[in-house]
Amino acid sequence: MSIGIVGYAISASLFLLFCVLLLTSWRGRIEGTYLLVASVTSACWALSAVAFQLQESALTIATYQIFEIAKNLAWFGFLFHLLKTLKAAAGTDSSLLGYAPAFVFTVSASLVGMELLAQVFPTIRGWGGVLSLQLVGHLGFAITGLTLIEQLYRSTRPDMRWAVKYLYLGMGVLFVYDFLLYADALMFRRVDETLWQARGLTSSLVVPFVAIAATRNPNWSVRVFVSKQVVFHATTLIAAGVYLVTMAGVGYYIRIYGGSWGKATQIAFVFAGIIFLIVVLFSNSLRSKVKVFVNKHFFSYKYDWRDEWLRVVQTLSDGRGSREIRTRVIQAISDTVNAGGGHLWMQDNSGSYQCVSDWNAKEVNLSFEAKGNLVTYFSGSDWIIDIDELVSFPGRYDNLTIREALIKAEDAWLIVPIKHHGSLIGFVLLIRPQSFRSINWEDRDLIKAAAKQAGSYLALLQTSEALSQANQFEAFNRLSAFVVHDLKNLIAQLELVVKNAERHKNNPAFMDDAVNTIGNAVNKMGRLLAQLRQGRFESTMTKQFFIEESVAQAVKELYAYMPKPILTVNGNFLKIIADKDRFTAVMVHMIKNAQEASQEDGQVKVSVDRVDDNAVIQIEDNGIGMDKLFIKEKLFLPFQTTKGNAGMGIGVYETREYVTSLNGSLKVESEKGIGTKFTISIPLDLSDETSGYHSAATAEA
């Protein structure tokens, strides 16, 4: 039996087997139809080649030629359909592709007709031009096929080439070999017998490539299933065979070039190689690694990772009801392997890990130190701990010892570390599912993926809680700064009373004024302390008042300081709704700032006016002033001042915040060495116009 018969028989068998797989899993899709037709015609072509070699006759020759042309047409139809689909998906015009099959069909029909005519009139075979034309036609088939493969590769997106690259490789091998065969035949005006006989084995190589591509494209209607045990044992046998052949080759060269020691060295070398092979084959760890390799690279995934990932994200982001993020983390990880529930441990401020949440599980009161065995193990490893495996085979976990209470926890099953940027945030103890199951490499990968996603959510939760706490401290510190600023002004008033007490203590009018000043200071300090305890400024005295009265009161309180403020009121009965005490304190801040920024012989002017429906207050001094850069970048920031140790830098900031809360505005004009003017505009309360008499259109305190 010749190699040609064996090669074409193998090719026919593989194509027929592939046809059976296609038929058993066919879903009626057009791609499957094209692929099935191409596989059937290829099998028939290979069988006709076998028949031709067994008995050469006019019938077998004609049958072989017809099926060869039909085979090419069938594969062209499948490839044309794929190309048209890719062009349509990319939005490229594919109308010209319709002419290509017609052209190929015309050429093929001519070849078929010529071959049939030659069978009827044998004398035609003697015409050299006929044979050359046939060879040119077959060569054209090969070139057309290679062109199609090139166009398909160009039209396939890079991210999709993984699914079809083996199809392109297999068909490319087929058409390249045809090109080589018929180019040689056209050159020497005869088909090389050796090349033609080897063509059967070459065509059989196409089947595995097409089968792999079909498994990666479900729309081709193929579900190839091979037993994992078969693939595992076949892989082991192939690897062992390759190893033994290699050892035999090395032993042969040792014997040839080893001289007098060659034969003995060869025997010892081969014997050592066999012993090593036996040891390797009985290695459980190696067998496990080979099984994982086979499962990863030869079989489809157990999970639909897209659906699993969407489920995990949906569970973690679902904030409906009273379920908080810690509980959702346990549920998201548990659902990956249908666990019955679980517990979550997270690190507290002391560094130890406390059980912070449970889901479908009884409460567990266990804590783990940061330097304990379990935390240390997870800090250096992402490996999921199977408690049963840990108890039975502690060597697989570096002889890790963990607390007996955790191992004996009710239905304890898996311990999953949760990390974020390499740092251990916590870990989850999963409870056994109702129907117990073991986990493999894919289960572990899915759990790890869910744990990593959960780690980002827990890290975000920790950051949010820390930020919320920082905001609370910031609000308290900010309020404290404002209270201290108010106390500074009150202390200044009391210092003035103490300073003048020695000279005027026998003056009844001074004593009355001192008592009033102290009483006013005590009341203000009491309110400030109450606000500090409550953590916010309370507007308990919000009501209508005349703004010019509040400004006049502020000027009066600061009249004892130099330079003395000068008040001008150009608008009367300017009524607003606010906390009068708070508003007066703000005016005191602004006027006091103007005094501190000016020399004792300087000027501080305060005016109150009405512009449209707004009360406008201007505070102007001829002090040191500010440059534009300071106004732009620092003036309205807290704790920024031009007065050195004399100021805290929050008066202007507090004023703007308060004025803004009243829907007002604050503007500043200043020039270094010339002075500063603040303009405060606040909307008036026009709910009811008040008539009456207000004194002092122009007053000088």
Query: Are residues 253 and 347 located together in one domain of the fold?
Result: no
List, in order, residues 6 or more apart from 534 with CB less than 8 Å away: none
Q: Residues 30, 33, 37, 39: is their CA dihedral positive or negative?
A: positive
For residue 389, being part of any structural domain is answered with: yes
Look up the pTM and report it.
Answer: 0.41
CATH code for position 177: 1.20.1070
Tokens 């396939």, located at residue:
156
Domain boundary among 240, 269, 298: 298
pLDDT in tens, 272-285: 877 877 777 677 66
CATH code for position 573: 3.30.565.10
Nearest to 72 by CA among 156, 167, 148: 148
Domain boundary among 220, 238, 264: 220
Q: What is the pLDDT of residue 618?
A: 94
Burial of 297 (0-12, 13-18, 19+ CB in 10 A): exposed
CB count, 10 Å around CB of 278?
Answer: 11
- pLDDT at residue 647 above 50? no
Tokens 């990593």, located at residue:
452
Percent with pLDDT over 90 in the chain: 15
> What does the block give as tokens for 498?
């103490």
State how far the Cα of 193 lies from the Cα of 175, in Å rounded to an integer: 18
For residue 498, being part of any structural domain is answered with: no
Nearest to 383 by CA among 368, 364, 371, 400: 400
For residue 279, being part of any structural domain is answered with: yes
Query: Are residues 172 and 46 located together in one domain of the fold?
Result: yes
- At residue 308 the predicted structure's pLDDT band, cuts being 50, 70 and 90, is confident
- At residue 41 the predicted structure's pLDDT band, cuts being 50, 70 and 90, is very high
Q: What is the 3-state secondary structure (H, E, C) of 617-632?
A: EEEEECCCCCCHHHHH
Backbone angles phi, psi at 30, to 5 degrees: -65, -35
- At residue 295 the predicted structure's pLDDT band, cuts being 50, 70 and 90, is low
Is the separation of the CB atoms in 613 and 571 below 8 Å? no
pLDDT in tens, 239-258: 777 777 777 777 777 777 77
Domain range for 670 is 540-683
H or E stretch covering 76: helix 58-90
Nearest to 326 by CA among 303, 310, 345: 345
- At residue 441 the predicted structure's pLDDT band, cuts being 50, 70 and 90, is confident
3-state DSSP helix/strand/coil % of the chain, to nearest 5: 65, 10, 25
Tokens 């044979």, located at residue:
131
Query: Are residues 259 and 208 located together in one domain of the fold?
Result: no
Count of domains forming the chain: 4
Q: Name, of 12-26, 353-367, 493-507, 535-549, the range with top average pLDDT.
A: 353-367
Q: What angle do CA 587, 593, 594 make, to 5 degrees?
A: 95
- pLDDT at residue 695 above 70? no
- pLDDT at residue 520 above 80? no
List beta partners, residue 671. Answer: 675
H or E stretch covering 491: helix 441-504
Query: Are residues 62 and 115 located together in one domain of the fold?
Result: yes
Query: Are residues 16 and 115 located together in one domain of the fold?
Result: yes
Q: Residues 244, 250, 255, 260: is their CA dihedral positive or negative?
A: negative
For residue 664, being part of any structural domain is answered with: yes
Is the separation of the CB atoms in 10 and 204 below 8 Å? yes
- pLDDT at residue 515 above 50? yes
Nearest to 637 by CA among 621, 648, 645, 627: 648
State how far the Cα of 286 lies from the Cα of 223, in Å rounded to an integer: 29
Query: Are residues 242 and 366 located together in one domain of the fold?
Result: no
Is the separation of the CB atoms in 571 and 610 below 8 Å? yes
For residue 424, being part of any structural domain is answered with: yes
DSSP label of 368: E
Domain boundary among 436, 455, 474: 455
pLDDT in tens, 322-371: 458 899 999 999 988 888 899 999 988 778 899 999 998 888 888 999 88
For residue 615, being part of any structural domain is answered with: yes
Chain-centroid distance of CA 64 in Å reads 57
Query: Are residues 147 and 106 located together in one domain of the fold?
Result: yes
pLDDT in tens, 445-470: 889 999 999 999 898 888 887 787 77
List, in order, residues 6 or more apart from 159 with CB less than 8 Å away: none
Query: Are residues 165 and 277 located together in one domain of the fold?
Result: no
Burial of 46 (0-12, 13-18, 19+ CB in 10 A): buried
What single string gives the DSSP state of each residue in 331-351?
HHHHHHTT-SEEEEEEE-TTS
Q: Name, of 283-297, 341-355, 429-443, the range with top average pLDDT.
A: 341-355
Query: Are residues 158 and 250 located together in one domain of the fold?
Result: no
pLDDT in tens, 471-501: 666 666 666 666 666 677 677 777 777 877 8
State how far the Cα of 452 lies from the Cα of 458, in Å rounded to an integer: 10
- pLDDT at residue 45 above 60? yes
State how far the Cα of 170 lies from the Cα of 206, in Å rounded to an integer: 5
- pLDDT at residue 632 above 60? yes
CATH code for position 444: 3.30.450.40
Query: Are residues 232 and 269 located together in one domain of the fold?
Result: yes
For residue 689, being part of any structural domain is answered with: no
H or E stretch covering 419: strand 412-420
Query: Are residues 77 and 214 located together in one domain of the fold?
Result: yes
Q: What is the pLDDT of residue 332?
A: 92
State how far the Cα of 254 lies from the Cα of 263, in Å rounded to an integer: 8
For residue 505, being part of any structural domain is answered with: no
Name the more confident of 99 and 72: 72
Is the separation of the CB atoms in 427 and 417 below 8 Å? yes
Query: Are residues 287 and 407 located together in one domain of the fold?
Result: no
Q: Name, of 132-141, 241-250, 314-323, 385-394, the range with top average pLDDT.
A: 385-394
